[in-house]
Structure 1
């Protein structure tokens, strides 16, 4: 398996796993906000620290869990964690020094490292290479908005820590109170990204409405999220259906809009789950899951999610290798 031929054969399959059903990283347009010289914007009565000195929420070591970390991983005292270096607030993105990687993923990884009694060693890579590095063991764990899928479970182990969520965004002064079912979008002007999973869900909702004799939605497409925000502000669009993290971040730093509903990124039949990813059967996934459950129980986990405006993506407990998105073509 270490031959050049084997690596060449494995690469296409790994890239397919990386590129399908994978919580794609949305384009984020930096918000223009009032803030201080350290890059800490103030919006809606809250502050977000975007500087390199994050003053992260920390956790205490739990010896009984730390002792279960495989010796070959624990021996250097470090936990090598893979993140995307491409930037997707509030998941992972560069701080104001353009070097330090910050975001909800780095904060949760820090909590896990703390419980395991290890020093976090962050590494950044492209999205596709995160999978290759995890499979080879170069990265001991990946925290990067990775959705659990049945194909991925063949090669990796997973410990869940967030739900995979889509959100409905409306202007702050919108009369819309909730979007939870197809009938709620009947007759509305709505925007969605072309070719996305949320577009498939939206088109299915619109089809159901038409079959039920309800007014069809007017679906508008924009290439950039910044254009969507302008359309919402001007009234050209009444609601936008997109990745919950990017919407929550925009609301946190800019205000002017709100979330009126969320929906599973896996569609109507399964709640998609985001998870820490480790090499298959390397023995690390169980202590990682136990560490996550520790910080869920003691409240540190909630502090981190609330810090980044993602409280609505919390899970009650971390699971190991739960049912994932179905296999392609299944």
Structure 2
């Protein structure tokens, strides 16, 4: 039965479930840690990235990439933030590496998103105040001023741009992950017809799947059955047991899992903004508070000095690099 009704809403936990942490630990100790390079031409497979062959550091001692303060950029930070000396960074912290997740100590937030937060703060001459919250609560924290920036795989959308400012730092690509040797290749809507597909509620990938189902039904095809999952451990268990045929989620997370598990592969990759626009991930700030210009210059400085590429390389997501950070680019259209 097609689940095209109102999606079930799950609250994202602010601390990872223990079974999810166990999944990450198990994967990290039983596989050669190389990341799959996912192309935009929907190739099925998991070619290893040469740049990530030595593996990931999942410990609390991250030995992060750092850079120097740039006074002329730091001077553009709003005075209230400069006076307090910290950059309050909020984001989701669940169990989906390599973006933003808990280290092996179960309490330290690590990942590529966290590394970018610290690098941006370096340029701005600020200390990082890192917090985690449910997805929706991150926007509330920005609205209330409890946090200065939201850095957690946030896609630029036209609706969000009405209330927030954005500075891009990564391409927004989605991956369709399936069991290894399943024979499933996904190049468009017709390829998910009749499949059981897992997705996280309230995401852009859910919206894309729903739109694909509408197109398939209009074309006389069977819709996919959309099933909702809250945690990485849940949807990977469902995929491994055959309860779902595939999972549609962020490309970096799927690439990380493919490389570590050896039990799944990427059946197709897509822009997170749909067919007509390349989606982009960005730092989010409160609109017109004066911070986004400094953030934007900081990111472009990181691109220029090479530390940006080092972070992408460290987490095996170099294929999602942007050439330049842009303020408030075209975003995912309103539904």
User: Fold match, TM over 0.5?
Assistant: yes
Q: 1:193 aligns with which of 188, 199, 217?
A: 199
Deviations 1:112-167 (A, max 9, x none): 11111222221333323322222232212221222222332232211111222210
> Per the alignment, in what secondary structure is the counterpart of residue 292 of structure 1?
helix
* Matched position secondary structure for 2:91: strand
Instruction: Return the TM-score normalized by structure 1.
Output: 0.74
1:33 to 27, 39, 42: 27
Distance in 1, Cα, partners of 2:140 & 2:174: 27
**Any idea what SS the aligned residue of 1:79 has?**
strand
Cα pair distance change 1:127/1:42, threshold 3 Å = same
Superposed displacement of residue 68, structure 1: 1.7
Match of 2:169 in 1: 161
Q: How many residues align?
A: 299
Match of residue 92 from structure 2: 84
**Preserved contact between residue 86 and residue 126 of structure 1 (Cα < 8 Å):** no
Match of 2:159 among 151, 159, 177: 151
Other-structure match for 1:129? 137
1:256 maps to 263
Task: Note the aligned Cα RMSD (angstroms).
Answer: 3.5
3-state SS of the aligned residue for 2:156? coil
Structure of higher CA gyration radius: 1
The answer to whether the 8 Å contact 2:198/2:244 transfers is no
- Displacement, 1:234? 6.8
The unaligned stretches of length 5 or more in structure 2 are: 1-6, 35-52
Cα distance 1:225–1:52, how it changes in 2: closer, same or farther (>3 A)? closer
In 2, Cα distance between equivalents of 1:91 and 1:240: 17
Name the residue aligned to 1:75: 83
Give secondary structure in 1 for the equivalent of 2:84.
Answer: coil
Alignment of 1:179-190 (within 5 A): 179-182=186-189, 185=191, 189=195
Flag the 1:95–1:25 CA change in 2: closer, same or farther, 3 A.
same
Which one of the candidate residues 103, 112, 126 is aligned to 1:104?
112
Distance in 1, matches of 2:284 and 2:226, equals 36
Counterpart position of 1:119: 127
Partner of 1:13: none
Deviates more, 1:216-225 or 1:98-107: 216-225
After superposition, residues 206-225 of structure 1 pair within 5 angstroms as 221=227, 223=229
- Higher RCO, Cα 8 Å, sep 6+: 2
Q: Which runs of 5+ in 1 are unaligned?
A: 1-19
State the TM-score, normalizing by the size of structure 2.
0.73
Counterparts of 1:272 and 1:80, CA distance in 2? 25
The reply on whether 1:93 has 2:83 as its aligned counterpart is no
From 59, 65, 70, give the equivalent of 2:73.
Answer: 65
